Amino acid sequence: MKQSVAILGAAGLTGRELILILARHPWLEAAVLTSDRYAGERVAQVYPELDGLSNLSFEKHTLNLPRECPVLLATPDDVALQAVPELLERGHRIVDLSGAFRLTPEIFRKTYGKEHPAPSALAAAVYGLPEIARERIRSARLVANPGCFPTGCVFILHALGPYLDRALGVVVDAKSGVSGAGGRTEDAGFAYQNVYENFRAYKVLRHQHNPEIQLHSNSPLPVQFVPHLLPLYRGILSTIHIIWQDSPPDVETLLRDAAKKEIFVRYRDNPEDIELKKVQHSNYLDLSCRTLGSATAIVSAIDNLQKGAAGQAIQNLNVMLGLAEHAGLMIKPDAENGVPE
Amino acid sequence: MKQSVAILGAAGLTGRELILILARHPWLEAAVLTSDRYAGERVAQVYPELDGLSNLSFEKHTLNLPRECPVLLATPDDVALQAVPELLERGHRIVDLSGAFRLTPEIFRKTYGKEHPAPSALAAAVYGLPEIARERIRSARLVANPGCFPTGCVFILHALGPYLDRALGVVVDAKSGVSGAGGRTEDAGFAYQNVYENFRAYKVLRHQHNPEIQLHSNSPLPVQFVPHLLPLYRGILSTIHIIWQDSPPDVETLLRDAAKKEIFVRYRDNPEDIELKKVQHSNYLDLSCRTLGSATAIVSAIDNLQKGAAGQAIQNLNVMLGLAEHAGLMIKPDAENGVPE
Amino acid sequence: MKQSVAILGAAGLTGRELILILARHPWLEAAVLTSDRYAGERVAQVYPELDGLSNLSFEKHTLNLPRECPVLLATPDDVALQAVPELLERGHRIVDLSGAFRLTPEIFRKTYGKEHPAPSALAAAVYGLPEIARERIRSARLVANPGCFPTGCVFILHALGPYLDRALGVVVDAKSGVSGAGGRTEDAGFAYQNVYENFRAYKVLRHQHNPEIQLHSNSPLPVQFVPHLLPLYRGILSTIHIIWQDSPPDVETLLRDAAKKEIFVRYRDNPEDIELKKVQHSNYLDLSCRTLGSATAIVSAIDNLQKGAAGQAIQNLNVMLGLAEHAGLMIKPDAENGVPE
Amino acid sequence: MKQSVAILGAAGLTGRELILILARHPWLEAAVLTSDRYAGERVAQVYPELDGLSNLSFEKHTLNLPRECPVLLATPDDVALQAVPELLERGHRIVDLSGAFRLTPEIFRKTYGKEHPAPSALAAAVYGLPEIARERIRSARLVANPGCFPTGCVFILHALGPYLDRALGVVVDAKSGVSGAGGRTEDAGFAYQNVYENFRAYKVLRHQHNPEIQLHSNSPLPVQFVPHLLPLYRGILSTIHIIWQDSPPDVETLLRDAAKKEIFVRYRDNPEDIELKKVQHSNYLDLSCRTLGSATAIVSAIDNLQKGAAGQAIQNLNVMLGLAEHAGLMIKPDAENGVPE
C-alpha cells in the first residue's frame, strides 16, 4: 500500500505538477488536495489533461489531515506562514514550496520589511537542496523547498565556494519562461500579445530570490542577479558570469566532480549543449562552462516546475521518507549512475 | 529626382530590409538590386509582402554600377572583401554591412586567422556608429556598418568609457532573435522544433563580435560577451553588467546625457521598460539602468535588422550624403528632439 | 497641405494602425485622436514604437471636431451608434470601423436582439468593401467598414454569386490571430499560457459576423461559419469549402478575373501559396482555389488589422475623397496593375 | 517479467514517443530499438530528455529479432512494405505505424500509382482504430495503425455512418502542428521563420490521408479534406462540417453515445471546450458538436504523436496481447469509466 500525501494549494501550477508526479510514484499517492477556488471539482474537470491520473476532488483549505500524512505546501507565502506551525504541532512532516521558510530571520526582515511570524518553525527549517543538504533533509520535519531561480545557480556557486574569494565579481543573468515568472492569467503583462515575440528584464537587481541565492550559495562576494522573461512557458536558463582576480581555478573539473555524485545533475561538454528542450518535464539540472582568460561563463538549465519546484519537492520527500531519491521522478530503478539509496 | 542607390546582396534578410526602407525614403531610391540566387525574379515574387513597394528585378552580382551611385553591400564577408577595393577605385562611396572592414589588421588576423586581404581599403574604413563617429562618417568613402550585437552595447560602453577603469569587470549578456543569429532556413538548429519553447547560449565567449565590441567600446577592461538565441524573430536585448571597484560613477546621468543628444537613442526611466516590442521595426536604441551597491545593470534593446543592420546603414548613408540623418527612418521632419541636420 | 482627419477611439488596436498608416499618407494626416483611457498622453508614450511618427496627444472623447474634417470611428459599437447621427448632422463624412452600421434593420434586430437606435443613419450607410461597392462609396456620407472575417470571404462569394445556386453547401472555416479575435489583455483566454501551443474554435456557428457574411455575399444558400483562434497575433486565413450539385463552374477563372481588376486582390496559382506571412502588414487579399470533382476549396488570407480594418478604412476614405485608392497603403503611384484613379 | 517489444525506426518522432510510453508501461518493455542513423548511440545521447528512462542503444535496422517478440514498425512506408512479409513469416505480430497497409489494393494503386508489393500481407491487415475494430484487432497478426488525420475524424464519421446518406456534403478542415505535418528539420518550410506567426493550407484536396478517411469512415458521400499547418508543435484539431438535406439527425446524442463506451473518447458539452491543450501528451480524442438549421459543426482534438500515432499503437498492442487497453497510457487501473478488459 502506498503512503498517503496531502497537497495544500493543489490547483496552482506547482500543485498540478505535484499531482502529475505523484500519479506515477511507485510508493506515494496524493490523498488530500485542497484548493479554495476549485473546492468540489474533480481534478479532471480543472485539468482535463490529467483525466485518468487522479480520481480525487479538490476540497477547501484545511489543516485537518490524515494522521502522520506528510504535507506538500504549494500555497502562497502568507498561507504557509500560518499553516506550518500548526501542522508541525500536529506532527506532520512538511515540504513547503513557498518562500516563507528559506531565509534567516534577519534576511527575511530585510527582504520583506517585517518580522518573520513563525521564528521557531523557521529555526527548524532545512533548505531543501538535496545536492547540498541531503543528510539534514533526511531527518528534517520542515523542508523549505528552494525557489526556481536559486535552484539554477546555488548548487553551482556552492561547488565553487572555496574558490570564490579569488573572484572579483559574480553575476547571475537568468532567463525564465512564463510559468517561472509568476504568469497569472489575469495580469496584462502575461497576455499573449505582451509576451510573444517579446523579451524583457524584470525586477532588475531587486528580485526576492536574490537574498536567497546570496544566503545559500555561501558566496563571499555579492551575487548580482537579473531575471528576464522569455516568450515560452517552461524552463529557466541561467548564465553565471564570474570575473577572476588572477588565474581562475579549474572550474570545469570542480563542476564535473560535483555533478558526478548527483543523480539529477548532468555536466555536459559544451555550454552550447545546455538548452531548455533537454530538461523540460524532467528533474535534471544540466550545466557546463567555459573559461577564457580571467572570465568564466557557466550555463545551467532546469525545468522550473520540476527541478525548480514540484520535482525537487518530491525529491526532498523521498529523502525524508527514506525512499530512493529518484522514486517517481522518471529515473528507472536500475539506473547505473549511482542512485543514493 | 531621387538619388539612385545600389544594393549588392539584396535578397537576404538585410537586403530585404534595405529595399523596404528605401521604398519609403524621401530622397533615395534603390536602382540596382543584385542576387545570384534570385537573378531575373521580381522583388514581389521573392518577397510578396513587398509587392507594390518595388518594381525592380534582382540581377546577377556585378560591380558595373551607375556612375557615382552609392553602394550598400549586404553580401557575405568574402564577397565584400573582394568587391570593396574595386568599387572604391571606381569612385563609389560604400556602406558595407558585412564584418569585413570593422577591425584593425591585427585584430582581424587574430579573429579570422588570416591576413586582411584589402589592407588599404581597411585603412580608409570608418566604423559606422553615427552616435560616436558622425563627423568622420560624413566624409568617409567606406563605412563599416557595425554588427548587430556591438550596436546594442558599444555606444553605452563608449559613454561610460572614461569611468570604466574604475570597474572590476564588464559583462555583456546578449539575447537575440533568430534573424540576428544567422537563422538560415536550411540549418536544423533553426528548425521550428528546435527554436520554439527553447532557449540556449551559443559561441560562449567565442563570438566573432567580441573583438569588435572590445575594439570600438574603448573599454580598458576585457568585455566578457555571451550571446543567446531567443525563440522569436526580431530583436536583441543586451544586459550589461558592470562590477565597480568602489563607489560607481553616476551611470544613469552619464547615459541620460549621452542619449539626449541623439535622435535614435532613448533613455527610459526603468530598466523594466526596455523591451523588444518597443523597438521592433524601428531604428531606436532603447536603454536604461539600475545601480545597487557596487553593481550596475544596463539593459538595451534594438531591432537587429533596423538599428542593428539596414536602418543604421541608411542612417550612415544619410550622413555621408548630407541628408537629414533620420530621413526614411520613420522620424518626421518636425521631430522636436534635436534632429542633427 | 494635407487634409486633416479625426480618429475617435484612436488608442485601440485598430486606432493604432490608423495612426501608423496616416503617418505615411501623402495627402491625409491625423489631426485629432481621442481616447478616454489615455487622454493627455502622447502617442509615443502609449505606443513607443510609433515615436517620431506622431507628435499628437490623445484627448477625451468629443464630437467637437474641426469643420469638414472626415472622421474615422474606431470605437465600440455603442459609442458609434450614439456618435454617428450627430456627426452626420454636423456635416462630417464618416468611416465607421465598428459593427454598428453593417446590417439591415431586420438583421440587426435578429443579431443583437434589439431595434437599431439610429435607423435613418443606417439607411444612409454604404457597406465599405470597395471591391464590390466602389461607386456608392465615392459619394457616401457614412461608410460601414466591413468586419475582418467578412473581408476574408465576401468578395469571393460575391464573385461566385451567380453560380452559387448550383451549390449544395457553402462553409467558411476561418482562422484568426489574437488581434482579430478581440484579444483583450485582461481576458484569461488570451493569456500567453492559454494561447501558445494551443488552438480552438470559438462561437461555433454563432459568431456575429455570420449574418454580415450572409447579407453581403448575396449567397442564395446559408453560409456556415466557424472561426478559430490561432496562436499568433496578426492575420486571418479563411478556407471556403463549396459542395456543388453537379459539375462546378470554372471557379478559378471567375476568381482570377475578379482579382485582375483590383489593386489589392492577388490571385495566386496554388492554394498552398496563400499564407499569412505574405499579407501581414499589407492591405492585400490573397486568394487561390482548387476544384476536385464536386468540391471546391478556396483559400484566402488578409492582415486583419490592415485589409480587415484600418487599411480598408483608409482605402474607403481615399475613395470618398477622390484620392488614389491605394494612397498611403504601400503601393507606389507607378504600380502597373491598374490603379483605379 | 515484462514482455519484450521491438521498435524498428525507433529514433524518429514517433519512435521517440513509443520509447517514452513503453518506459512507463506496467507489462511491456522495449528490448530492441533500431535506427540506421543513430546506430551505436544510447537513447539518452539522442534524446537527453529521456535520460534515465531507457538504458538501451540504437542498433542497425534488422529483422533478426527475439522470437515471438511483437514488433512496432515506425519506419517509412517503403521499409515497412519490405519488412512486414518477412516479419509475419518469422511469426511476429506487428503494429505498423506507416501508411503501407491501411488501404485496399485498389485504393493503394490509385493513391500511390503502383501495385501494392505485398498483397497477401495487406489482405491480412486490420485497420487499427480500436474504437471501431476492437474484436478484429484482438486476433490480428498485422495491425495497420491509422494516420493522424484519419484518427481525428474516422471514429466520428463512423458513428454517424447510417445517417450520412441524409447529408449533402461532408468537409474535414484539419489543422495540425509541425510534428503532424512531417516537420523534418532540414525542410525550409519548417524553419522557424517560416512557421512562427504564420499559417497556411497544404496538399489542398490532395492529401494521401484523404482516401484513408474515405475508406474507413464508410461515408456514402465524398469527404472533402483540407489540412493546414499551425505554428505549434503537437496536436491536430479537426472541424468537420456537415450539410444536411432536410432535418439533421440528433448528432449530439449519436456522438455522446458512441463516446460513452470508449475509455479514450471524451464528449464535451460545447465545441468551444475542445482545445489542443487539453489533449496534448495524452491518448484522448476529445469531441463536441453544434447543429444550427441544416448545418452541423463537429470539433475534435487529438495529440498527433499519442492518439494519432504512438499512443494508439500501444493501445492496439495492448488489445492484441489481451492486456488492459489503457495499460501504460496514463489511465489508472481503477478508472471507473468502463475499462474494456
Asked if residue A334 belongs to a domain, the reply is no
Shared domain check, C172 and C49: no
Beta bridge partners of D4: D29
- Asked whether D224 and D209 are in contact (CB, 8 A), the reply is no
Which set of grid coordinates corresponds to residue D244?
444536411
Assigned domain for A220 exists = yes
Smallest Cα distance from C80 to chain B, Å: 30
Mean per-residue pLDDT for C61-80?
96
Mutate to test the interface with B, among C21, C232, C282 (most CBs of B within 10 A): C282
Interface test with B, best of A110, A173, A196 (most B CBs within 10 A): A173
- Contact check, Cβ <8 Å, A196/C191: no
Whether B31 has its CB under 8 Å from any CB of chain A: the answer is no
| Same domain assignment for residues A121 and A20 | yes
Per-residue tens of pLDDT for chain A, all 341 residues: 799 999 999 999 999 999 999 998 999 999 999 999 999 999 999 998 788 888 899 999 999 999 999 999 999 999 999 999 999 999 999 999 999 999 999 999 999 999 999 999 999 999 999 999 999 999 999 999 999 999 999 999 999 988 999 999 999 999 999 998 876 677 888 899 999 999 999 999 999 899 999 999 989 999 999 999 999 999 999 999 999 998 899 999 999 999 999 999 999 999 999 999 999 999 999 999 999 999 999 999 999 999 999 999 999 999 999 999 999 997 643 433 333 33
Strands A265-267 and A285-292: parallel
**Minimal CA separation from A271 to chain B, in Å:** 7
Q: What is the amino acid identity at position A25?
A: H
Give the cell for residue D115: 501495385
| Residue D227: inside a domain | yes
**Strand C71-73 versus strand C3-8 pairing type:** parallel
A45-102 pLDDT, tens per residue?
Answer: 999 878 888 889 999 999 999 999 999 999 999 999 999 999 999 999 999 999 999 9
Cβ–Cβ below 8 Å for A280 and D197: no
Grid cell 565579481 is found at A169
Chain D's closest residue to C225, CA to CA, is D297
**Is A197 in CB contact (< 8 Å) with chain C?**
yes
Residue C247, SS3 per DSSP: coil
C191 vs A190: CB contact, 8 Å cut-off?
yes
The span from the CA of A77 to the CA of B59, in Å, is: 65
pLDDT tens column, B249-263: 999 999 999 999 999
Minimal Cβ distance to B205: which of A222, A231, A297: A297
Judgement on whether residues A126 and A225 belong to the same structural domain of the protein: no
Which residues between 222 and 241 in chain A have a beta carbon less than 8 angstroms from any beta carbon of chain C?
231-233
Put simply, the answer to whether A297 touches B224 (Cβ < 8 Å) is yes
Cell of D122: 495487406
Cβ atoms B94, B78 nearer than 8 A: no
Instruction: Judge contact between D293 and D279, C-beta under 8 A.
Output: no
Q: Are D242 and D169 in contact (CB under 8 A)?
A: yes
Residue with cell 519484450: D4
Answer yes or no: are the C-beta atoms of A287 and A300 closer than 8 Å: yes
Residue of C nearest to B51 (CA): C331
CA gap A122, A142 in Å, rounded: 9
**CB-based contact B199 A232, cutoff 8 Å:** yes
Bridge partner residues of C228 (DSSP): C175, C201
- Residue of chain B whose alpha carbon sits nearest to that of C282: B49
What region does D216 belong to: left with phi over 0, alpha with psi -120 to 50, or beta? Answer: alpha
Parallel/antiparallel/unpaired status of strands B71-73 and B28-34:
unpaired
B235 contact residues in D (CB cutoff 8 A): none
Neighboring chain A residues of B230 at a CB cutoff of 8 Å: 199, 230-231
Secondary structure element (H or E) that encloses residue D173, with its range: strand D167-176
| A193 and C CB contact within 8 Å | yes
Q: Write out residues 263-302 of C within 8 Å (CB-CB) of D.
A: 271-272, 274-277, 280, 290, 292-295, 297, 299
pLDDT, chain B, mean:
93
- Residue D191 to residue B193, Cβ atoms within 8 A: no
Query: What is the span of the domain harbouring residue B269?
Result: 150-304
pLDDT tens digits, residue range D204-240?
Answer: 999 989 999 999 998 999 999 999 999 999 999 999 9
pLDDT tens digit sequence for D262-298: 999 999 999 999 999 999 999 999 999 999 999 999 9
Grid cell listed for A297: 561563463
Locate cell 508489393: which residue? D117
CB contact under 8 A, C232 and A188: no
What's the DSSP call for residue A98? S
Tens of pLDDT along C247-300?
899 999 999 999 999 999 999 999 999 999 999 999 999 999 999 999 999 999
pLDDT at C337 over 60: no
Give DSSP secondary structure letters for C136-182: HHHT-SEEEPPPHHHHTTHHHHHHHGGGGGGEEEEEEEEEE-GGGS-
Query: Domain check: are C162 and C84 in the same one?
Result: no
Other chains touching C, judged by 3 or more CB pairs under 8 Å:
A, B, D
Q: How far is A137 from chain B (nearest CA, A)?
A: 33
Characterize B224-234 residue by residue with b for buried, 16 or more Cβ atoms within 10 angstroms of its Cβ, and e for exposed.
Answer: bbbbbbbbbbb
At C99, the amino acid letter reads: G
- Domain-embedded: residue D335: no
Q: Spell out a b/e string for C265-292, using b for 16 or more CB atoms within 10 Å of the CB, else e.
A: bbbbeebbbbbbbbbbbbbbbbbbbbbe
Q: How far is D34 from chain B (nearest CA, A)?
A: 23
Separation of alpha carbons C335 and B53, rounded Å: 9
- Secondary structure class of B316 (helix, strand, coil): helix
Cβ–Cβ pairs < 8 A, chains A and D:
58
Neighbour count for residue D252 (Cβ, 10 Å) = 16
Q: How many C-beta neighbours within 10 Å does residue C119 have?
A: 12
What percent of chain D is modeled with pLDDT above 70? 96
| Three cell numbers, residue B133 | 563617429
Question: Nearest CB to C274: which of D200, D234, D290?
Answer: D200
Task: Give the model confidence (pLDDT) of C185-205 as tens digits.
Answer: 778 888 999 999 999 999 999
- Based on the fold, state whether residues A299 and A315 are members of the same structural domain: no
ipTM of the complex: 0.94
A192 contact D CB<8A: no
Residue B191 sits at the vertex; the CA angle it makes with B284 and B147, to the nearest 5 degrees, is 30
- HSE at residue A287, side-chain half, CA atoms within 13 A, is 29
Q: Is the same domain home to B172 and B93?
A: no
Neighbours of chain A (3+ CB pairs under 8 A): B, C, D
Residues of chain A contacting C188 with CB distance shorter than 8 Å: 185-186
- Chain A: give the shortest CA distance to residue D162, in Å: 31
Q: What is the pLDDT of residue A254?
A: 97
Does residue B323 sit within a domain?
yes
Check if D107 contacts C (Cβ < 8 Å).
Answer: no
Q: In the structure grid, which three cell numbers stand for residue B305, read together?
A: 535588422
- C160 and C283 housed in the same domain: yes
Share of chain D above pLDDT 90, in %: 87
Could you say which DSSP state residue C39 is in? T
d(CA D156, CA D173): 14
How many angstroms away from the CA of C158 is the closest CA of chain D?
A: 21
- Around Cβ C148, how many Cβ atoms within 10 Å? 27
User: Looking at the domain assignment, is residue D341 inside a domain?
Assistant: no
The residue from D69, D148, D153, D289 that is catalytic is D148
At D25, which CATH number?
3.40.50.720
Q: Residue C176: which of C305, C285, C77, C272 has the closest Cα?
A: C305
For testing the chain B interface, which of D192, D200, D280 should be mutated: the one with the most B CBs within 10 Å? D192
pLDDT band at D7 (very low <50, low <70, confident <90, very high): very high
CB B17 within 8 A of CB B310: yes
Identify the DSSP state of A9. S
Of D330, D278, D307, D323, nearest to D23 (Cα)? D330
CA dihedral sign of residues A275, A279, A280, A285: negative
Q: Give the three-state DSSP class for C248.
A: coil
> A282 vs D51: CB contact, 8 Å cut-off?
yes
In this structure, what DSSP letter does residue D281 have? Answer: T
Domain with residue A207: its CATH number is 3.30.360.10
Whether residue D291 sits in one domain with residue D165? yes
E strand intervals along B268-311? 285-292, 295-302
Q: Report d(CA B128, CA B145) in Å as an integer.
A: 5
Read off the pLDDT band of B51 (50, 70, 90): confident
Residue A282 to residue D197, Cβ atoms within 8 A: no
In a domain? residue A339: no
Q: Are residues C169 and C251 in the same domain?
A: yes
Chain D residues in contact with C206 (beta carbon < 8 A): 290, 292
Whether B148 sits among the annotated catalytic residues: the reply is yes
Please give the interface size between A and C, counted as residue pairs whose CB atoms are below 8 Å apart: 58
Helix (H, G, I), strand (E, B) or coil at B34: strand
- Cα–Cα distance measured from residue B138 to residue B320, given in angstroms and rounded to the nearest whole number: 4
Would you say residue B142 lies in a domain? yes
State the DSSP H helix or E strand holding residue D224, giving kind and residue range, or none if neither: strand D223-229
Is D334–A53 a contact, with Cβ atoms under 8 angstroms apart? no
DSSP E strands: which ranges in C203-305? 223-229, 236-244, 265-267, 285-292, 295-302
Cell of A197: 515575440
- How many contacts, defined by CB atoms under 8 Å, are there between B and D? 58
**In terms of Cα–Cα distance, which of B130, B127, B67, B65 is closest to B100?**
B127
Q: Cα distance from C261 to chain A (closest Cα, Å)?
A: 36
% of chain B beyond a pLDDT of 70: 96
Q: Check CB contact of B246 with chain A, cutoff 8 Å.
A: no
How many domains does chain D contain in total? Answer: 2
C195 touches chain A (CB under 8 A): yes
Rounded Cα gap, residues B222 and B215, in angstroms: 10
Q: Give the number of other CB atoms < 10 A from CB of residue D181.
A: 23
Partner residue facing B52 (CB), from C51, C279, C331: C331
B218 touches chain A (CB under 8 A): no
> Which active-site residues of A does the annotation give?
148
pLDDT at site D183: 60
Closest CA to C243 of A6, D58, D205, B28: D205
Contact across the interface for D193 and B190, Cβ inside 8 Å: yes
Query: Domain check: are B131 and B238 in the same one?
Result: no
| DSSP secondary structure letters along D48-84 | GGGTTT---B-B---S---TT--EEE-S-HHHHHHHH
Quick check: A133 and A198 in contact, CB under 8 A? Answer: no
* Co-location of B279 and B176 in the same domain: yes
Beta bridge partner(s), residue D174? D227, D238
Inform me whether the pLDDT recorded for B230 exceeds 70: yes
Neighbouring-strand partners of residue B226: B173
CB pair distance less than 8 Å for B51 and C23: no
> Which residue is it, cell 514517433?
D14
**Which of these, B323, B281, B235, lies nearest to B21 by C-alpha position?**
B281
Is C2 an interface residue toward B (CB < 8 Å)? no
A9 lies in the same domain as A134: yes
Q: Is D273 within 8 Å of D289 (Cβ atoms)? A: no
Please indicate whether, in this complex, the C-beta atoms of B186 and D186 are within 8 angstroms of each other.
Answer: yes
Burial class (CB in 10 A: 0-12, 13-18, 19+), B135: exposed
Nearest Cβ partner for A200 among B205, B233, B275: B275
**B23 — contact with chain C (CB < 8 Å)?**
yes
